[in-house]
């Protein structure tokens, strides 16, 4: 590559407008002490995207590459989108089938995908590279999606579109070839169309091109779906979704590994206050003491499951017998909260409430039924919640990952335990949501069949 990747400036909002606080942990409890109530000015400063690590931004961060003005518009209640996502993953996807186009593997409607991602990275497609901000997903997509030219209509957001005609390395996949997963394409290319009221509103074409992730990682002949739409969705700030699932065509599967490297790892940034997380591919295996064993589920072969074997609150195991507690746990990036088996959730909640008796109770927030009003407190102590997985690894979220604060970033407000019972259609599954994972590096050692956690990797 002649020019290399132009180095974009990524922004990190160093000091978000939140109350100054200090943190410490003692006797199974995380403490947050109010240290100042002066509001710091918000500033963005560049974070270098070094060879290995791509900066990851939360969708709502004003510094996110895909953000732009009005990023706050997506502030809806997370449990509503969680419910939709869990239905897409585990429910009956009848609605989607009716609409005509589904991506192979698990049925997610094409039209609902790009732009919906919580976390974004910027990668380069084609030759010369066209840099575009995209979301990433470890579940459900089954294909990498990218919004492409041509876009029929006026509100297309051209600078967020990939232009296949400007790439010298792009190749069409012929309909009927082994690389084309569509059984119903017609014509020369591997294209599916979505029609509404007789008119084509979306063309989805499987193509291959070079994907440049960083200076050190580029994947040739990477398969993805070019989406041509009529008009743009209003969420057009993100150009697509990178597939990190276990599908053989996913980026996770295409990373070249050596015995001492891992496929990928991410650290989801805290959204409030804003921080910069990272996503890396083919990095050297970190020094982690215990890993969780990666499980496969025949019903969902592309998803990453671990086996939950323990839950503790304040360093004491919840009173649920091991056989009632243990179960498949999905690592999920597009579900905000963590969903447990109803009995396990009830035991966790009861223990948690036992530790929180000194704080005034606040009304439930959606499905979150354990809320407290910390307004006016000078310090807040929250018991440490830890989830342990087969293999020995434990995930221990911090205060702002254990509780969800409506006034995000402000602990001295109303906060709710960010766990809930899993909905009936996903019975039997535990879903480890993005909030619980945030600020912890999650390492996917796919060659070793294991997942590791490194706490406080991106604060
Ligand atoms: C889909 O492809 C056809 C044929 O190339 C084209 O005429 C049509 O405008 C495309 N539709 C959209 C929504 O891009
Ligand atoms: C929280 O407590 C403060 C001070 O006591 C009060 O003004 C506020 O209305 C309470 N908020 C909720 C949601 O209960």
- Quick check: CB of 175 below 6 Å from ligand 2? no
30 and 136 part of one domain: no
**Which residues span the domain enclosing 367?**
5-38+287-454
Contacts of 93 (CB under 8 A, 6+ apart): 87, 102, 106, 107, 108
Within-domain flag for 48: no
Find out whether 59 and 74 touch, Cβ atoms under 8 Å. yes
31 and 62 part of one domain: no
34 and 62 part of one domain: no
Within-domain flag for 367: yes
Query: What is the per-residue pLDDT for 10?
Result: 28
Ligand located closest to 149 CA: 1
Within-domain flag for 400: yes
Q: Which atom of ligand 1 is nearest to the CA of 152?
A: 14
| Closest to 217 (Cα-Cα) out of 393, 5, 433 | 5
Average pLDDT over the chain reads: 81
Work out how many domains the chain is built from and give that number. 2
For a ligand 2 pocket test, name from 361, 363, 375 the mutation site with the most ligand atoms within 8 angstroms of its C-beta: 375
220 and 352 part of one domain: no
Q: What is the mean pLDDT of residues 184-190?
A: 85
Ligand located closest to 376 CA: 2
Cα 170 to Cα 149: distance, rounded to the nearest angstrom? 13
Q: How far is CA 418 from CA 29, 279, 374, in A?
A: 16, 24, 16
| Residue 54 scores a pLDDT above 80 | yes
161 and 228 part of one domain: yes
Cα 401 to Cα 337: distance, rounded to the nearest angstrom? 9
Cα 251 to Cα 138: distance, rounded to the nearest angstrom? 10
Which residues partner with 55 through β-bridges? 278
Rg (CA), the chain: 22
Segment (H or E) for 362? strand 361-362
209 and 311 part of one domain: no
Q: What is the mean pLDDT of residues 15-21?
A: 46
Cα 306 to Cα 303: distance, rounded to the nearest angstrom? 10
Ligand 1 centroid–CA 229 distance in Å is 8
From atom 2 of ligand 1, which residue's Cα is the shortest distance away?
203
| Residue 94 scores a pLDDT above 90 | no
228 and 294 part of one domain: no
Ligand 2 centroid–CA 354 distance in Å is 21
The pair of three-digit structure tokens given for residue 94, joined into one six-digit string: 């009848």
Query: What is the per-residue pLDDT for 182?
Result: 85
428 and 357 part of one domain: yes
181 and 223 part of one domain: yes
From atom 9 of ligand 1, which residue's Cα is the shortest distance away?
152
Select from 254, 276, 304 the last residue of a domain.
254
| Closest to 217 (Cα-Cα) out of 260, 245, 255, 173 | 255
- Quick check: CB of 375 below 6 Å from ligand 2? yes
Q: State pLDDT tens for residues 191-207.
A: 988 777 788 778 889 99
Please give the model's pTM, rounded to 2 decimal places.
0.88
Selected residue with higher pLDDT from 315 and 215: 315
95 and 34 part of one domain: no
Sequence length of the chain is: 459
Write the CATH number for 145: 2.40.70.10
- Quick check: CB of 361 below 6 Å from ligand 2? no
Segment (H or E) for 389? strand 385-389
Q: Which atom of ligand 2 is nearest to the CA of 373?
A: 1
Buried b (16+ CB within 10 A) or exposed e, 111-130: bebbbbbbbbbbbbbbbbbb
Within-domain flag for 64: yes
Within-domain flag for 306: yes
318 and 445 part of one domain: yes
Select from 204, 234, 254 the last residue of a domain.
254
Query: What is the per-residue pLDDT for 76?
Result: 62
Within-domain flag for 140: yes
From atom 4 of ligand 1, which residue's Cα is the shortest distance away?
203
Selected residue with higher pLDDT from 408 and 44: 408
Contacts of 225 (CB under 8 A, 6+ apart): 103, 110, 143, 144, 145, 146, 204, 205, 206, 207
Cα 191 to Cα 284: distance, rounded to the nearest angstrom? 38
| Closest to 261 (Cα-Cα) out of 205, 309, 217, 303 | 217
Cα 457 to Cα 269: distance, rounded to the nearest angstrom? 9
215 and 299 part of one domain: no
Within-domain flag for 274: no
The pair of three-digit structure tokens given for residue 348, joined into one six-digit string: 């966790």
């Amino acid at each position: 590559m002649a020019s290399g990747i132009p180095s974009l400036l990524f922004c990190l909002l160093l000091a978000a407008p939140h109350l100054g606080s200090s943190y410490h942990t003692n006797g199974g409890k995380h403490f947050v002490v109010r240290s100042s109530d002066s509001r710091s000015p918000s500033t963005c400063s560049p974070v270098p995207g070094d060879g290995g690590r791509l900066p990851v931004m939360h969708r709502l961060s004003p510094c996110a590459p895909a953000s732009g003005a009005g990023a706050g518009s997506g502030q809806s209640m997370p449990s509503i989108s969680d419910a939709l996502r869990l239905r897409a993953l585990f429910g009956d996807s009848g609605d989607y089938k009716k609409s005509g186009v589904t991506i192979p593997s698990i049925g997610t409607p094409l039209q609902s995908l790009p732009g919906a991602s919580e976390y974004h990275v910027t990668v380069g497609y084609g030759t010369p590279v066209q840099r575009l901000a995209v979301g990433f997903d470890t579940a459900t997509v089954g294909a990498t999606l990218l919004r492409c030219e041509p876009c029929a209509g006026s509100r297309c957001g051209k600078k967020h579109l990939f232009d296949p005609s400007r790439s010298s390395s792009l190749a069409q996949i012929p309909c009927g070839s082994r690389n084309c997963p569509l059984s119903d394409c017609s014509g020369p290319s591997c294209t599916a169309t979505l029609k509404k009221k007789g008119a084509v509103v979306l063309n989805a074409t499987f193509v291959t091109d070079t994907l440049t992730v960083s200076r050190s990682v580029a994947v040739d002949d990477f398969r993805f779906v070019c989406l041509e739409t009529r008009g743009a969705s209003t969420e057009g700030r993100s150009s697509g979704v990178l597939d990190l699932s276990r599908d053989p065509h996913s980026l996770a599967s295409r990373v070249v590994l050596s015995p001492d490297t891992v496929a990928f790892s991410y650290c989801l940034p805290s959204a409030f206050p804003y921080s910069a997380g990272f996503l890396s591919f083919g990095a050297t295996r970190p020094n982690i003491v215990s890993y969780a064993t990666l499980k496969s589920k025949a019903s969902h072969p592309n998803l990453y499951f671990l086996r939950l074997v323990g839950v503790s609150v304040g360093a004491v195991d919840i009173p649920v017998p091991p056989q009632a507690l243990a179960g498949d746990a999905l690592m999920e990036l597009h579900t905000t909260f963590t969903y447990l088996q109803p009995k396990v959730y009830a035991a966790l909640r009861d223990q948690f409430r036992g530790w929180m008796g000194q704080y005034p109770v606040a009304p439930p927030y959606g499905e979150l039924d354990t809320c407290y009003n910390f307004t006016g407190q000078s310090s807040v102590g929250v018991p440490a919640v830890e989830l342990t997985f087969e293999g020995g690894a434990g995930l221990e979220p911090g205060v702002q990952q254990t509780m969800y604060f409506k006034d995000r970033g402000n602990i001295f407000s109303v906060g709710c335990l960010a766990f809930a019972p899993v909905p009936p259609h996903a019975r039997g599954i535990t879903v480890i949501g993005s909030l619980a994972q945030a600020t912890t590096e999650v390492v996917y050692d796919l060659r070793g069949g294991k997942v590791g956690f490194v706490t406080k990797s991106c604060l």
